[in-house]
Chain A
Amino acid sequence: MSTTTVPPHVRLANDIAVQFHHHTPNRAATEIAEHIRSYWEKRMKEALLAHIDAGGAGLDELAVRAAKLLRP
């Protein structure tokens, strides 16, 4: 029996990002970032940004784009 090995912040960010694929990249990134800003706890945001800093493996491109908007 196995559970996913994808870190939760990556899985959750991807889950959000895929819902906005129908928008233009800029709008999608804005909406994804707004969602994360509104609902994610600080350490999760930090983990996401750290994951991107480490290469962002497995992360949806729109999530990466959105994460840039989360940086101070």
Chain B
Amino acid sequence: MSLLKEPDYGTPAREGAATVELTIDGMAVTVPPGTSVMRAAAQAGAAVPKLCATDSLEAFGSCRLCVVEIDGARGTPASCTTPVAPGMVVRTQTERVGRLRRGIMELYISDHPLDCLTCSANGDCELQDMAGVTGLREVRYGSGVDAGANHLDAPKDTSNPYFDFDASKCIVCSRCVRACDEVQGTLALTIDGRGFDSTVAAGAGVPFMESDCVSCGACVQACPTATLQEKSVVELGMPTRSVLTTCAYCGVGCSFKAELRGDELVRMVPYKDGGANEGHSCVKGRFAFGYASHPDRVLAPMVRDSIADEWREVSWEDAIGFTARRLREIQAEHGTGSIGAITSSRTTNEEVYVVQKMVRAVFGNNNVDTCARVCHSPTGYGLKQTFGTSAGTQDFKSVANADVILVIGANPTDGHPVFASRMKRRLRQGAKLIVVDPRRIDLVRSPHIEAAHHLQLAPGTNVAVVNAFAHVVVTEELVDREFVADRCEGFAEWTEFIARPEHSPEAVEEITGVPAGELRAAARLYATGGNAAIYYGLGVTEHSQGSTMVMGMANLAMATGNIGRDGVGVNPLRGQNNVQGSCDMGSFPHELPGYRHVADDDVRGIYEHLWGVDLRDEPGLRIPNMFDAAVDGSFRALFVHGEDIAQSDPNTQHVHAALAALDLLVVQDLFVNETAKFAHVLLPGTSFLEKDGTFTNAERRINRVRPVMAPSTGKHEWQIICEISQAMGYPMHYESAAQIMDEIALTTPTFAGVSFAHLDKVGSVQWPCNEAAPDGTPIMHKDGFVRGKGRFVETVYVPTRERSTRKFPLILTTGRILTQYNVGAQTRRTANVAWHPEDLLELHPHDAEVRGIRDGDMVVLSSRVGRTTLRAVLSDRMPVGVCYTTFHHPVTGANVITTENSDWATNCPEYKVTAVQVALTPEQASIHEKPAERPVTATERART
């Protein structure tokens, strides 16, 4: 399509029925109460000139360009700040307001460089547009350097790797400052000075890169001139066409306009009608797309007989033939179950579907698993056991109606920043916040936000804490009796369990480290504070009791009636873009698409009939089982689709041993990643910009992924899977990705109403989308749980076997940060490395001091399974005895440290609890041992 420019109505929409009737320029308009005259006029087709107004921000009323005349009103009010009233008669174009507007524009232009023809925003500048709209023909005050005092020599700040700030072009409309406040919620920008001296400043007069700016791009998006401009636009020029697609980073699933010149991607602009993000973005989705065209991309298939050999480029035909032949040979020698595959949470639903189909229908086993194994598999288990389906309950918008927000084991401002902005907006409006996390994450205290309670629990004690919450609810009679009686089962047995004294906050205080009084207060707030919503992340799931904890949270939500309506729920914040979708598509070894067990004859029959093969009725191997079986020799070949298990999975030594033991490892990826070092076949993958399909985000929203450019490898990934299947003797053919989705819809009841045509028509839908819910299901379990009655489950706290010892006295927990993503394969190949060039070990100053460690020292981090070296950062946001690092850089290899421990139900690794020791590296220690150099005194100098 040509360049897509969404209409800007000037001020935000107001909810409610359109009941206010007024007349604008002779046209009758009816809008909801609270709507501005500016917005009503725009909706009527009588757009009013504006500069400081944009509909992502509340009205500000500073530029005065939007003045109108209103019958019976004095003067010329600003239409942006004037709400509509019944019977109001508005005139937007009169001689009087025209004269005023030209006068305002004269003043603006008198202090603006007149370099429109060479300006990077030429053609996309609202100041330029308004000069035209207002009919400005002369500037009586002079212009440019002839206009007297001006800002034309104001310095340009180019410190940010993605955008420039050119103060000489700033009209001080405050849109950037307000976007940072209202949309992003970081409050990094301000207007410094007064009157003529007013300038936009990032923090206390420091460059953008040194400020609190998180580079979300909201200010760039809001800027009406070229003051804040993407460097890519400066370098390449204005884009000329747009393709609507979906971000491939986190599970928020933001919609973007990919804006191109010809076939060259110029910029990614968040799409206002995107259901997940509504026009907002983060530094990754907005700017960090350069990896897609990075020279490291592998574009041709490569093969080698042994991992000691050099890669040799081959044709697609040869690579596919080699792969198919070796897979069949290995099965012939070692049995049907000796091969398997891992699907990717980064690829599309359609790609995942065909990979699991290849395993079940062509490999003839159920040895398929997905990287969700190592992140949110406990969510799937826990929510299915309690609610009946493996998905979060709400849409993201729901948080706007939450009164109490309970964040457990999640760090949304880093991991899910665009959703975090929604959450922060609600918190600034007054919703109460409870944070359960060993670390003092940014949400605990940030501008205009302070958690009512931060329960800084000991790692590994989540279940004890959630049980104590429930104990308070039950014993203090805070249960929603009506909800429980109508909607749930197993309550009496659970009540008897949870009311036992050993679950009281006082009893578990010694285990959890959470003061009983604080926990009681938090539980009361959750139960009585109005709509209470739980948001959680991998700090819940990546534990030996991850699944138990998910069920514990579900118990809590059911007991308090916080399920089935807006503003409540149990909401997993998914790590990768298509974790939800990869699970939905039947990636788990025990489930066919739609979370239906392989032992279910009826479900298997659907696929057997369609695919023309008999399917196995027993579960296959999970990822860690595959590694164990590879080491013991019964599992010999693995197809890894778009995952870097050698870096991301725990206990690296064990993973490497497993991969090295394979007779055949096929890796499909964008880059020669760590896993590919053990591979025999490397099939080049397509970036999200080249894919055609769908992603499903954390709110079950199915979004279209549209090809921005043709596959640089010459093939779609689903085509490659089909060709391998065909080469293995099974005819698998689709004309398009849309046809794959049609098969998904045909066989999966929750997707029955989904098709590319429907998505193209409505934008996105949240499953279930079928005859019963043709428009999708933003909020689940409204009138009943998917399983019928919500099921209370007894959640016994069982301590992890991973304990701190004299040898390993600290507990390590791992996670990620804002600017990097997962194993860093993408973000490390962008300018995001400017913010996080290496993995760091966060350590409490006390733990550092007793080890002689200073801020910035290189340290050895060791556990019972391995050791690595990295730089220490002292931070009192860590509790004493706990340290933290990320796993974004292979050179650090943080998973050398993590162990084989896993969630009892799903084998999700226990990344969050590893007993470790930290010590200075010998080199660092020797530096410390040298006497500090001091200046030579005058006396000493005289002696020499």
Q: A residues engaging B (CB < 8 A)?
A: 1-4, 8, 11-12, 15-16, 18-19, 21-22, 35, 38-44
Contacts and interface: CB of A to CB of B under 8 A. Distances in A.
**Chain B interface bracket (under 10, 10 to 19, 20 to 34, 35 or more):** 35 or more
B590 interface: yes
A23 B863 CA distance: 35
B865 A41 contact: no
A8 B866 contact: no
A44 B628 CA distance: 10
Contacts of B634: 43
Contacts of B620: 41
Nearest to B904: A15
A15 B544 contact: yes
Nearest to B634: A43
Contacts of A44: 621, 625
A4 B796 CA distance: 25
Given A35-B905, A43-B629, A1 B900 contact: no
A3 B654 contact: yes
A19 B653 contact: no
Given A1-B867, A2-B864, A21-B796, A42 B900 contact: no
Nearest to A47: B632
Majority-rule SS of A interface residues: helix
Contacts of A40: 619
B589 A41 contact: yes
Shortest 7 CB-CB contacts between residues of A and residues of B: A15-B904, A8-B628, A41-B621, A22-B796, A19-B904, A3-B865, A16-B904
B905 A16 contact: yes
B619 A2 contact: no
Contacts of A3: 651, 653-654, 864-865, 899-900
Given A1-B867, A4-B900, A19-B548, A43 B654 contact: no
Interface string B491-510: 00000010000000000000
* Interface core residue of B651, B794, B863, B904 (most chain A CB under 10 Å): B904
Contacts of A22: 497, 794, 796
Given A12-B907, A43-B634, 13 more contacts: A2-B864, A2-B865, A8-B628, A8-B900, A11-B900, A19-B798, A22-B497, A38-B590, A38-B599, A41-B620, A42-B337, A43-B337, A44-B621
B559 to A, nearest CB: 19
Nearest to B367: A41
B864 A39 contact: no
Contacts of A2: 864-865
Interface in B582-611: 589-590, 597, 599
Contacts of B497: 22
A16 to B, nearest CB: 5
Contact of B619 (A12, A19, A39): A39
B796 A1 contact: no
Contacts of A42: 337, 618
A1 B620 CA distance: 31
24 contacts: A1-B653, A1-B863, A1-B864, A1-B866, A3-B651, A3-B865, A11-B900, A12-B902, A19-B548, A19-B904, A19-B905, A22-B796, A38-B599, A39-B619, A40-B619, A41-B367, A41-B589, A41-B620, A41-B621, A41-B622, A42-B337, A43-B337, A44-B621, A44-B625
* Interface core residue of B620, B862, B900 (most chain A CB under 10 Å): B900
Contacts of A38: 590, 597, 599, 619
A15 B619 contact: no
Contacts of B904: 15-16, 18-19
Majority-rule SS of B interface residues: loop
A15 B590 contact: no
Contacts of A43: 337, 629, 634
A19 B548 CA distance: 9
Contacts of B902: 12, 15
Interface in B400-457: none
Interface in B251-288: none
A11 B651 CA distance: 15
A72 to B, nearest CB: 13
Interface string B355-395: 00000000000110000000000000000000000000000
A41 B625 CA distance: 9
A1 B862 CA distance: 9
A44 B619 CA distance: 11
B57 to A, nearest CB: 50
A12 B905 CA distance: 9
Nearest to B907: A12
A69 B906 CA distance: 21
Contact of B618 (A8, A11, A19, A41): A41
A40 to B, nearest CB: 6
Contacts of A19: 545, 548, 796, 798, 904-905
Contacts of A18: 798, 904
Interface string B630-670: 00001000000000000000010110000000000000000
Nearest to B626: A41
A21 B796 CA distance: 9
* Interface core residue of B619, B621, B634, B794 (most chain A CB under 10 Å): B619
Given A15-B544, A18-B904, A41 B653 contact: no
A18 B337 CA distance: 30
A35 B597 CA distance: 13
A46 B548 CA distance: 27
Interface string B888-923: 000000000001101011110000000000000000
Contacts of A15: 544, 902, 904
A18 B544 CA distance: 11
A21 to B, nearest CB: 7
Interface string B275-304: 000000000000000000000000000000
Contacts of A4: 900
A16 B622 CA distance: 16
B507 to A, nearest CB: 16
Nearest to A8: B628
Contacts of B618: 41-42
Contacts of A35: 905
B583 to A, nearest CB: 15
Nearest to A44: B625
Nearest to B618: A42
Contacts of B625: 8, 41, 44
A43 B630 CA distance: 12
A4 B899 CA distance: 9
A4 B866 CA distance: 13
A19 B867 CA distance: 31
A33 B932 CA distance: 65
A41 B597 CA distance: 13
A2 B653 CA distance: 10
A2 B808 CA distance: 13
B388 to A, nearest CB: 16
B595 to A, nearest CB: 12
B599 to A, nearest CB: 8
Nearest to A42: B618
Contacts of B628: 8
A15 B900 CA distance: 12
A45 to B, nearest CB: 9
A1 B865 contact: yes
B838 to A, nearest CB: 23
Nearest to B795: A19
Nearest to A3: B865
